[in-house]
Structure 1
Amino acid sequence: MAAGTAAKLVDHYLQLCEDRDLEEAARLLAPGVRLVFPGDLVFTSLPEMAAGAGGRYLWVRKNRERYFEGEGDDDTAVVTSLGTLYGEDLAGTPFSDIRYVDVFVIRDGLIAEQHVYNDLSEAGFPLPGLTPPTPSV
């Protein structure tokens, strides 16, 4: 891929996901895509991923601050997106400035993998299926 092309693909995909245009975003995913999220959650479709986010927050968006591009194995491109998350928790309370890193593997012009790392758990958002810790007094 030409320099900058993979990062533009990723930025467009992330914007479509934020806009909840999951049908259009899915067109940017390779067959057999792996969407890997904290808590060892692996999804193979965007509707599955969106359903898996339920129970953590009402909504979330990304301040996408920087992209880094590199080459991977087997003619793949690798894009890393850095920034912060903001949104509303389940009670409707706003949150912001939560760090994230997304790593994408691009193969044949499509997203083959997305690996998501963020500090939501450290900020008190429980991983799906886990009970949040009780604060000590």
Structure 2
Amino acid sequence: MDAARLVDHYLQLCEDRDLDRAGRLLAPGALIVFPGGRRFATLPELASASRGTYRWVRKHRDRYLVGAAADGVSVTSLGRLYGQWPDGEPFDGIRYADVFVLRDGLIVEQHVYNDLAIAVASRDPSR
């Protein structure tokens, strides 16, 4: 499976909350870093930390950029988040960039950047 397809498959499995299968695409000790420098050791830990932020979230995966990394292949997924806030109101169009490093057909790093915190703050001006 080529690098962009592997990342797309991983993201789909994460969206579907098939975390066991998604986790099989991660190398042992993979580095997962979310906005604010939050690091996660496992996908279930990541999913648990996201509870309360939204009911559900998915990605319009608009494009992939693939290149060489010093020790593997780099894949960047660019697009927009959509989903539902905890109060049931839908959201769409929140920018994201996920940067992955793959080595030997597995994800060794995932760095997530998005404007979700800005969207949350704009819903509650007291923040």
Same fold (TM over 0.5): yes
1:13 to 10, 30, 46: 10
Is the CA contact 1:58–1:90 (under 8 Å) kept in the aligned structure 2?
A: yes
Q: 1:70 to 1:57 in 2, by over 3 A?
A: same
Structure 1 or 2: larger helix share? 2
Could you say which residue in structure 1 is the equivalent of 2:53?
56
Q: Does 2:118 align with 1:122?
A: yes
Report the identity percentage: 60
- The TM-score with structure 2 as length reference comes to 0.94
Provide closer, same or farther for how the CA distance between residues 61 and 82 of structure 1 changes in structure 2, counting only shifts above 3 A.
Answer: same
Q: 1:92 to 1:125 in 2, by over 3 A?
A: farther
Does residue 96 (structure 1) correspond to residue 99 (structure 2)? The answer is: no
- 1:133, CA displacement in angstroms? 5.4
Partner Cα distance (1:91, 1:107) in 2: 40
Q: Which amino acid aligns with 1:24?
A: R
Is the 1:56–1:125 Cα contact (8 Å) retained in structure 2? no
Which amino acid in structure 1 is aligned with residue 90 of structure 2? P
The answer to whether the 8 A contact 1:6-1:106 is kept is yes
1:22 aligned residue (19, 23, 28) = 19
Q: Give the secondary-structure state (helix, strand or coil) at the position aligned to 1:55.
A: coil
- The Cα shift of 1:86 comes to 0.2
Could you say if the C-alpha distance between residues 125 and 30 of structure 1 is closer, same or farther in structure 2, counting changes exceeding 3 Å? farther
- 1:6–1:121: structure 2 CA closer, same or farther, 3 Å change rule? same
RMSD: 1.6
Number of residue pairs the alignment of both structures matches: 126
- Secondary structure (helix, strand or coil) at the match of 2:29 reads strand
User: Using a 3 Å threshold, how does the CA distance of structure 1 residues 111 and 62 change in structure 2: closer, same or farther?
Assistant: same
Extract unaligned runs of 5+ from structure 1.
127-131
- Equivalence for 1:73: 70
Answer 1 or 2: which has greater strand percent: 2
- The amino acid across from 1:103 in the alignment is V
1:41 aligns with 2:42: no
Amino acid at match of 2:95: R
Give a deviation string over 1:52-88, Cα, whole Å, max 9, x none: 11121111000000000001012x0000000000000
CA distance in structure 2 between the aligned counterparts of 1:70 and 1:96, rounded to whole angstroms: 29
Q: What is the alpha-carbon distance in structure 1 between the residues aligned to residue 21 and residue 76 of structure 2?
A: 21
Structure 2 spans left out of the alignment, 5+ residues: none
